[in-house]
Chain A
Amino acid sequence: MKHCMKAILLATAVGWASGPLLAAGAHPTTGEALADDQIFTYVTVDEHTSVDPQIVEDTTGAAIVRDLFEGLYNQDADGNLVPGVALSHTTNADKTVYTFTLRDNAKWSDGKTVTAGDFEYAWKRLADPETASPYQWFMEVMNIKNAGGVMSGDMPVSELGVKALNDTTLEVTLAGSMSYFPLTTTHGSTFPSPQWVIEAHGTDWIKPENIVSNGAYVLTKHVPNETLERERNPMYWNDAETIMEKVVIKIVNDENVALTRYLAGEFDKTGVPTGQFLKMQKQYPAEVYSNPKLCTYYYSLNMGENGPEALKDKRVRQALSYAIDRDIIVENILQAGQFPAYTFTPGATAGFSVPEVAAATMSQAERDAKAAELLSAAGYDKGNPLAIEILYNTSEGHKKIAIAISQMWKQKLGVEATMQNQEWKTFLSTKGEGNYEVGRAGWCGDYNEASTFLDLVNSKSGYNDSKFSNAEVDQLLADSKTSDNAQPNYTRIEEIIADEVPLISIYHYTSATFLKSSIKGWPHENVEGNWYSRNLYKVAE
């Protein structure tokens, strides 16, 4: 009966909503003629891990979650915050308590009103050890009061610093002042979840037949490792503005096959296979895009106890960094518009201006000369060459870069670099245990603020594979949390990284995609890659 009602409701609403739109056939603001079939089909290489907002841990799943659920804030095409379920927020003087005012017309797909209590439930659910969420730690990134205690089970979940004062007021108490806190609320793991559905169905609540969600779309079909479909949610508070009726994922594990099928007209969006960007851009200039991404490719230098003696010498680390010609890697190997990196934080990060570190201003010849000088000062030369091992996870792309870098080191510095590749999980475990010398790594921001990168060099960070420890960096990081303008701190930290070289930043990522020219509204400028299907539409060709 419930399903039946849902279907009728959906059918009527779709009919009602699409009827006038199709008849008008034009975009309400731009006036472009719209295609009759508002269906967006895109490829993902891997199946998502879950569509449960508090469980999902991959970007594919996060994109689905952003369509199915809506959090306090959304992002616009440039990545700025725009109201979601929350209309606005206020904060106290020292930025430790944030009070969000929620809209009263937000609805779940079963017709219930979305309340502050749904957020309180979801956040407590995320922190609860019982839930065992892989994104549990995000509560600590958000600096929520008592998150650590709740996560370790030392405190009851009720102690978590989040409270629904009434249906439309959510009060969040932080462990300490944090000026960029609202930025974290666009993350999927902070989205509300329907307690009554989860209690009724347990882990099966996210199956298409059970799920209740509050976003612009509802999940209608899921065939594991083949396809997932979501259709517009007539109960969504802003459904009138949704144009795309249906969004379909096709899972194609092979990127080259995906491209062939894209060219055959099966999909609207797919990735550009590695190394084919330039060729494809020439061939399909209107459909190939390369957008900056908040990710950095770097080599971590093991300064820990298991690391080699040589890497404990700052001059050696500096020399290795100077000798890498980033331009060659970006222009000749990657060829997809990536940016050479001399700082760890990508320049595309919001509110972050790239500091002028010495290496960035030199020519490669100057860098090479400096590198040779530093390494010989450290006591290594042709007669006593430095031997070092590069560890990377098995992949053609990583291999090419490792070969190039080991050659650069050999030619310019006489360094005997050996390469060692390992299967992904073995690689992670070797690196995690600190049994490596130079290790390949990549890091993507969890939110659009420099601290998501720079926290990595915090001596207490679990991600600090280099085992770098610098009291000044730790202090600067702690201070920047509370500061209104943290840029001077971030500049200083980047300068310390450039000088101490616990890691060698190599390049900042781009994402290279094929997108049919009929699909409009794609947020190319959103560096976090956060897109929402309800902003997309298909124009008539």
Chain B
Amino acid sequence: MLNLIVRRVAIAIPTLLIILVISFLLMHAAPGGPFTSEKPLPPQVLANIEAKYGLDQPIYKQMINYTVGILTEFDFGPSFKYKDRTVNEIIAQGFPVTMTYGVWSFIVAVFFGIPLGLIAALRQNTKTDYFAVSFSITASVLPNFVMAPLLILVFTLWLGLLPGGGWNDGSWQNLVLPVIALSTSYTAELTRLTRASLLEVLRSNYIRTARAKGLPERTVILRHALKPAMLPVITYLGPMFVGLITGSFIIDSIFSTGGMGYFFVNSALNRDYSVMLGITLLAGGLVVLFNLIVDLAYGWLDPQIRY
């Protein structure tokens, strides 16, 4: 297992470098730049600004400087758009926010989605099952950009119970609506996935064997069916977790949470090169990390997999 971890970390470094190079080139290939504006800057002013941010240098040099900055000082550079802060500051402020609502959404999705899926599969074609299936279909077609304004309309304007946005240092009142809006579709997906997966396992030969041996249904489910049924779910959970904690543009822009999702999308639109690269690398690193965790979980869940 240690071998696997070492090998994965060794692969992670070139992976991240490739992400860096590709993002860097794509970004610079996009038309316009961070300082393109409706009132174009006079050439002299533009030259001064580009010199200040090192954008006057050849691309390979910019890339080397940038990489060296990260490796030696963990410095992701200044934001080109928000001139009063650095990328490190933006991530330090935005990441805890998305992390908080992401983790809560993850918890909600896992604790509602998986049990609902399991119950639905165990009681297939009963009312419970129909409820679970209709919930997961409804929730997965209801996108969060529809959910979020609806929640604000109901809970803020009509009922006056919860603030319609803001973060307020992560107080629970400000967390409720974003977490509901963000977790709903994930809950639905987990319900669907868990149900389908458990149904498939329950029809497999070794379950029939276990039942034929006369094992109590409880043991059949808990000892033999549950673990293998969780494999596809776990595969889904890794990327889902990364997706949740790196933020959602919709949630950030509708609930004004100040999270990273908004900065990520907007940095691309603004050509705020350094912010975009910084967040891309962070997200890339997290994907690598959680894929590793998922792989380790496989080893525990599936006796056929040994590292």
With contact pairs A257-B149, A426-B30 given, residues A263 and B253 touching in the complex (Cβ less than 8 Å) = no
With contact pairs A223-B258, A224-B94 given, residues A50 and B83 touching in the complex (Cβ less than 8 Å) = yes
CA distance A454 to B126 in the complex (A): 74
Q: Which of B156, B167, B254 contacts A264 (CB 8 A)?
A: B156
- The answer, yes or no, to whether A418 is at the interface (CB within 8 Å) is no
Contact across chains for B36 and A224 when beta carbons are under 8 A apart: no
Q: Which of B43-51, B229-237, B294-302 contacts A (4 or more CB under 8 A)?
A: B43-51
Q: Which of B43, B164, B263 contacts A266 (CB 8 A)?
A: B164
> What is the size, in residues, of chain B's interface with A at 8 Å between Cβ atoms?
55
- The answer, yes or no, to whether A253 is at the interface (CB within 8 Å) is yes
Q: Which residues of B contact A140 (CB under 8 A)?
A: 42
Q: Mark A441-465, 1 if CB is under 8 A from B, else 0.
A: 1110000000000000000001100
Contact across chains for B31 and A429 when beta carbons are under 8 A apart: yes
Q: Which residues of A contact B52 (CB under 8 A)?
A: 130, 132
Whole-angstrom distance between the Cβ of B41 and the nearest chain A Cβ: 6
- The answer, yes or no, to whether B256 is at the interface (CB within 8 Å) is yes
Q: Mark B64-98, 1 if CB is under 8 A from A, else 0.
A: 00000000000000100111110001100110000
- Residue from B52, B153, B166, B167 whose CB has the most chain A CB atoms within 10 Å: B166
- The answer, yes or no, to whether B143 is at the interface (CB within 8 Å) is no
- The answer, yes or no, to whether A430 is at the interface (CB within 8 Å) is yes
CA distance A257 to B160 in the complex (A): 15
With contact pairs A224-B94, A428-B32 given, residues A261 and B82 touching in the complex (Cβ less than 8 Å) = no
CA distance A257 to B44 in the complex (A): 41
| Chain B 1-56 residues near chain A, CB threshold 8 A | 30-33, 35-45, 48-49, 51-53
Q: Which residues of A contact B163 (CB under 8 A)?
A: 266
Contact across chains for B269 and A423 when beta carbons are under 8 A apart: yes
A-B contact count (CB 8 A): 145
CA distance A430 to B153 in the complex (A): 40
Q: Mark A128-160, 1 if CB is under 8 A from B, else 0.
A: 011011101100100000001001110000000
Contact across chains for A134 and B35 when beta carbons are under 8 A apart: yes
CA distance A266 to B156 in the complex (A): 9
Contact across chains for A462 and B269 when beta carbons are under 8 A apart: no
CA distance A521 to B194 in the complex (A): 60
Contact across chains for B258 and A224 when beta carbons are under 8 A apart: yes
Q: Which residues of A contact B259 (CB under 8 A)?
A: 225
Contact across chains for B149 and A256 when beta carbons are under 8 A apart: yes
- The answer, yes or no, to whether B129 is at the interface (CB within 8 Å) is no
With contact pairs A52-B84, A134-B45, A137-B42 given, residues A426 and B165 touching in the complex (Cβ less than 8 Å) = no
Contact across chains for B48 and A129 when beta carbons are under 8 A apart: yes
Contact across chains for B84 and A206 when beta carbons are under 8 A apart: yes
Q: Which residues of A contact B263 (CB under 8 A)?
A: 225
Contact across chains for A260 and B40 when beta carbons are under 8 A apart: no
Q: Which of A133, A134, A203, A253 contacts B254 (CB 8 A)?
A: A253
Contact across chains for A50 and B84 when beta carbons are under 8 A apart: yes
With contact pairs A225-B263, A260-B157 given, residues A134 and B49 touching in the complex (Cβ less than 8 Å) = yes
CA distance A266 to B255 in the complex (A): 13
Whole-angstrom distance between the Cβ of A208 and the nearest chain B Cβ: 11
Whole-angstrom distance between the Cβ of B250 and the nearest chain A Cβ: 9
Q: Which residues of B contact A463 (CB under 8 A)?
A: 39-40
- The answer, yes or no, to whether A536 is at the interface (CB within 8 Å) is no
- Residue from A49, A252, A264, A266 whose CB has the most chain B CB atoms within 10 Å: A264
- The answer, yes or no, to whether A47 is at the interface (CB within 8 Å) is yes
Which residue of A has the minimal Cβ distance to B36? A428
- The answer, yes or no, to whether B152 is at the interface (CB within 8 Å) is yes
- Residue from A50, A132, A225, A462 whose CB has the most chain B CB atoms within 10 Å: A225
Contact across chains for A253 and B253 when beta carbons are under 8 A apart: yes
Contact across chains for A429 and B254 when beta carbons are under 8 A apart: no
Which residue of A has the minimal Cβ distance to B163? A266
- The answer, yes or no, to whether B195 is at the interface (CB within 8 Å) is no
With contact pairs A223-B167, A250-B166 given, residues A260 and B153 touching in the complex (Cβ less than 8 Å) = yes
Contact across chains for A137 and B41 when beta carbons are under 8 A apart: yes
Q: Mark B254-280, 1 if CB is under 8 A from A, else 0.
A: 111111001100000111000000000
Q: Which residues of A contact B156 (CB under 8 A)?
A: 260-261, 264, 266
Whole-angstrom distance between the Cβ of A407 and the nearest chain B Cβ: 26
Q: Which of B90, B149, B167 contacts A254 (CB 8 A)?
A: B149
Q: Which residues of A contact B256 (CB under 8 A)?
A: 225-226, 250-253
Q: Which of B48, B153, B269 contacts A132 (CB 8 A)?
A: B48
Which residue of B has the minimal Cβ distance to A428? B36
Q: Which residues of A contact B51 (CB under 8 A)?
A: 129, 132
CA distance A153 to B45 in the complex (A): 11
> What is the size, in residues, of chain A's interface with B at 8 Å between Cβ atoms?
52
Which residue of B has the minimal Cβ distance to A224? B93
Which residue of B has the minimal Cβ distance to A223? B258
Whole-angstrom distance between the Cβ of A206 and the nearest chain B Cβ: 5
Contact across chains for A134 and B164 when beta carbons are under 8 A apart: no
Q: Which residues of A contact B262 (CB under 8 A)?
A: 225, 253
CA distance A284 to B32 in the complex (A): 42
- The answer, yes or no, to whether B252 is at the interface (CB within 8 Å) is yes
Contact across chains for A425 and B83 when beta carbons are under 8 A apart: no
Contact across chains for B166 and A151 when beta carbons are under 8 A apart: no
Whole-angstrom distance between the Cβ of B48 and the nearest chain A Cβ: 4
With contact pairs A261-B156, A264-B160 given, residues A425 and B270 touching in the complex (Cβ less than 8 Å) = yes
CA distance A52 to B84 in the complex (A): 8
Contact across chains for A426 and B32 when beta carbons are under 8 A apart: yes
Whole-angstrom distance between the Cβ of B242 and the nearest chain A Cβ: 21
Contact across chains for A462 and B48 when beta carbons are under 8 A apart: no
CA distance A151 to B254 in the complex (A): 41
Contact across chains for A151 and B45 when beta carbons are under 8 A apart: yes
Contact across chains for B31 and A47 when beta carbons are under 8 A apart: no
Q: Which residues of A contact B49 (CB under 8 A)?
A: 132, 134
- The answer, yes or no, to whether A324 is at the interface (CB within 8 Å) is no
Q: Which of A129, A260, A425 contacts B152 (CB 8 A)?
A: A260
Q: Mark A238-257, 1 if CB is under 8 A from B, else 0.
A: 00000000000011111011
- The answer, yes or no, to whether A227 is at the interface (CB within 8 Å) is yes
Q: Which residues of A contact B254 (CB under 8 A)?
A: 253-254, 257
Q: Which residues of A contact B269 (CB under 8 A)?
A: 423-425
Whole-angstrom distance between the Cβ of B307 and the nearest chain A Cβ: 42
Whole-angstrom distance between the Cβ of B180 and the nearest chain A Cβ: 15
CA distance A49 to B49 in the complex (A): 15
Q: Which of A47, A226, A257 contacts B167 (CB 8 A)?
A: A226
- The answer, yes or no, to whether A417 is at the interface (CB within 8 Å) is no
Q: Which of B78, B89, B164, B258 contacts A260 (CB 8 A)?
A: B164
Whole-angstrom distance between the Cβ of A401 and the nearest chain B Cβ: 17
CA distance A441 to B253 in the complex (A): 26
Contact across chains for B166 and A227 when beta carbons are under 8 A apart: yes
A interface residue numbers (CB < 8 A to B): 47, 49-52, 55, 57, 129-130, 132-134, 136-137, 140, 148, 151-153, 203, 206-207, 223-227, 250-254, 256-257, 260-261, 263-264, 266, 423-426, 428-430, 432, 441-443, 462-463
Q: A250-B256, A257-B148, A261-B164 are in contact. List 17 more A-B contacts (CB 8 A).
A: A52-B83, A132-B53, A151-B45, A203-B78, A225-B262, A226-B166, A226-B256, A254-B253, A254-B254, A257-B149, A261-B165, A263-B157, A264-B157, A425-B31, A425-B32, A426-B31, A462-B40
B interface residue numbers (CB < 8 A to A): 30-33, 35-45, 48-49, 51-53, 78, 81-85, 89-90, 93-94, 148-149, 152-153, 156-157, 160, 163-167, 252-259, 262-263, 269-271
Lowest 9 CB-CB distances: which A-B pairs, in order? A425-B32, A253-B253, A226-B258, A132-B52, A429-B32, A261-B164, A429-B31, A129-B48, A225-B258
A-B contact pairs, 9 of them (CB 8 A): A151-B44, A223-B93, A224-B82, A250-B165, A260-B152, A261-B156, A263-B157, A425-B36, A429-B31
